[in-house]
Every structure is written in structure tokens, then in C-alpha cells.
Amino acid sequence: MFHSSLSGLKWIFDNWGWDIFKKIYEKTGWLAQTDFEGWGLFNLNVFVNQRHFAFSLALLVFIVTYVISLYEKETENSEPAEAKSTTPNQHNNRLWFFSSCFIGVAAGLTPYWNSVVNTALLSFLGLYTIINIRKKDIFEPMFVTTAIAGFVSLPQLMRFKSGSSSLNEYPKLHIGYELNHFDLFDLTEYYFKVLGLKLIIVVIGLLIISNRKKILFLILSIPFILANLLQLGVVLYDNNKLMISTLIFINCLAAYYLVELFKLKPFIFKIVSVALCFSLMFAGVLDLMSVKNLRKVDVADKSDFTQWIIENTEPGSVFLTLPTIQYYDNAVSNILMAGGKIYVHNAASSAYKLDERLNNLDIIFRGEKSFEKIKSIMEQEGIDYIVVSPELRESKEYKVNEEFLSQNFVTKYNNNGIAVYSIY
């Protein structure tokens, strides 16, 4: 909701008229590709495409707020105390150890949902532990929490970088994020366009909060800094998950200032506070309308092909077919609905090395090498079935020699324009 890019204000300006509310309600398409956003850094598209991301963000917020509420206490005059806490001295050792283990394991499991959020969470836990190194009652439980989180996370992260994973070569140094170079003025201008007035509000908010809160906010901003220093994977777009992780807490700081402004007695401050709040919501409201108006597609959950896969193939079988996104009922959706796996998909460049798999796809489809060679590739790559669909036959990018396939492979299924071939 608090997507504050200037792209929202520009859209309002460009579409202003007597029917502006009708246009907002019926808006389709993201604010990406506008003058202020190259591809929509903070828009809701990422949540539509990656529903697991929202859960991992919720876990991040829960753990951060739990730790801060546990160890960061304030006195009655709102001045931060010396981090008074519910500590091992105040509770029995079993209680704080259980709490540390629970939070450590929960944080350690986040790579299962999203490894980038795991990076943000580990950075917070580690840095929070370090800044409390002189406070034994906080340092000890936090050290246990961080150690467990790291221990549980490590084997998962190592697995992600194993085999043919595209993550083997990452992270890499990449300063300047989307700008591809580091220039302080250009970077400030870029984030002012993306964050809008929120950037100014956050700077003001930093000036009025206590020193302890400044330190906490800087710790929570580390993912944002990492996103501008490193490239985490093949697709730079993955970095924006780090930025969204920080954006949650940036919003908290902006909200803190707006509430403090609203509390001031002159009524004009209340008007300014509300106006600023609305300025931070224009882009968010517009993108929410885009979600509401997303085109819906019917996909058959019991097509003849889907039913054949369920009844005649092993669960988790790997299918080689057209590797492109198709937003309608098709062979790929049938395979996925039946629980099958796609060997290669051109939207999965952040998961594995596409070039190698697309090269294998080309060799198999064209049939220009010997059957034994192609058979060897399929066995080595674990490909169980080749699916030739109408979309594949019509593709200009991927050529298929169906005569070679029908002569050398066993035809397992051939109905409604879909043919399935197997080695055995």
C-alpha cells in the first residue's frame, strides 16, 4: 500500500480529468516502465509471481519485532534505557534457551521459502548480537540464536550453490544497483524517484529518534546497502527482495514521523501529515487496482492429457517441452497441474544455468545427432518424456524434428495435437 514512487503522482497528472476515479478503478498494468521506474522496483508484481515471498517476509517481521520487543525497553519519559531486557537473570535459563532455539530454528528455515530474506534476517541477528557484546544478558541469548540460525541455514545455502546452480558464481561485486555504476548524485536521484517524498520523511525521522533507535534502523538497513553493493544472482531483479525487506522498516520510520507530526497542536500540521500520508500511497493504490484487474485465465484441471499423466507416469516425472511462459490452457499447464516437472523454463535463469539446458533442448528437438547421443543426454539429465505441442510446432525460436522423434522413440500419447515420446 505504501509504494511511494513518483510514478504514481506522474500517472495521476497524466490521466487527470473528470473521470480520474474511474480510470484508477479500471487501471490495468503495473507502474513499471514509467519515467521513474525502469521495471517496477517495489511494485506488487513480485508478490503475485512469488507467493512464498510474502510468507518469508512475515517471518522476518515477526522475528525482528520479537527480538526488539524482548530486549529494547523504554523508560516512562520515552528515553531509551540501557537496553533493559527480559534476560537470563530475570528468567530461568531454560526459558531463554528455549526462546533462543525457537527463534534460531525459525530464522534458519527461511532459505526454504526465500534465501534472500534469509540473508536479511541473518544480517540483523548477527549485527544485533555484535552491538550488544558488552551486555551479557542480551549477548548470550542472541549469540545462541544467531549461531543456531546460521547452523540451520548453512546446509540449505550450500545446496542452492551446488551442482549446475547458477548461484555458483554469485554473489558478485556490483556497485550502484540498476545504475550499473556508483555516482552519489545519480543514486540519490534514482531513489528519490523510486521512494518519492518518503526519502525526505525518513531523513527527518532519523533526526528526531533516539541514538539507540538510529543504530537499530541502520542495522535493519543493511540489506538495502548489500543490494547496492552486490549482485546475488544472474538476474539483478532478485536484489529487490533485499530492498523490500528493508522497506518494511523504512515505512515504520516514515510512519513514526507522520504520527509525531500529526500530534502537534497547530491544526495545519495535521493537514500536512495526512497529505504526506496520501502522497506515499498513490502508487500503491494504483498497483492494487492492477492486481484487482489482472486478466483471469481458465486452466483445465482434468484435461485428457492431465489425466493421462496422472494415470501413466510416475509422480515428479521430468518433461521436455516448449520452455516459454504461456498464459492460457496448454501442455505446460497440464503437466504442472498433474504434478510433473519441466526440464527447462526460460524464466528460471536465477535457479540454474539456462544455456546448458537450452542447448540440450536444441540437440534433442532437432534430432541432428545420433539417437544414442540423444539418449545419453536424456538419461544423464533425467528427462523422462518429450512433449510436442501445437505451441512448440508453431514456435519460430525452437525447431522440432518430429519425424526423427516418432521414428526413434516410443510414442506414449498422441491426442488433441499433443504427442509424448519416451526412450522406453
Res. 78: pLDDT tops 50 = no
Res. 84: pLDDT tops 80 = no
Helix (H) or strand (E) holding 419, with range, is strand 418-422
Res. 212: pLDDT tops 70 = yes
Beta-carbon neighbour count of residue 187 at 10 Å?
17
> Which CA distances in Å does 390 have to 49, 146, 395?
26, 53, 9
What pLDDT does residue 86 have?
45
Q: What is the pLDDT of residues 94-132, one digit of tens each?
A: 778 888 899 999 999 998 888 888 989 999 999 999 999
Comparing 64-68, 182-186, 296-300, 405-409, the range with the smallest average pLDDT is 296-300
Q: Tell me the domain boundaries of the chain.
A: 12-292, 304-422
Q: Rounded CA gap, 231 and 220, in Å? A: 19
Phi, psi values for residue 34, rounded to 5°: -95, -175
Q: Rounded to two decimals, what is the model's pTM?
A: 0.76
Comparing 62-71, 74-83, 199-208, the range with the smallest average pLDDT is 74-83
> Which CA distances in Å does 191 have to 49, 227, 238?
24, 13, 17
**Over residues 338-359, mean pLDDT:** 82
Res. 162: pLDDT tops 80 = no
Scanning 294-396, the segments in alpha helix (DSSP H) are: 304-312, 331-337, 354-366, 371-381, 390-394
Q: Rounded CA gap, 234 and 51, in Å? A: 21
Instruction: Give the pLDDT band (50/70/90) at residue 64.
Output: very high
Res. 272: pLDDT tops 90 = yes
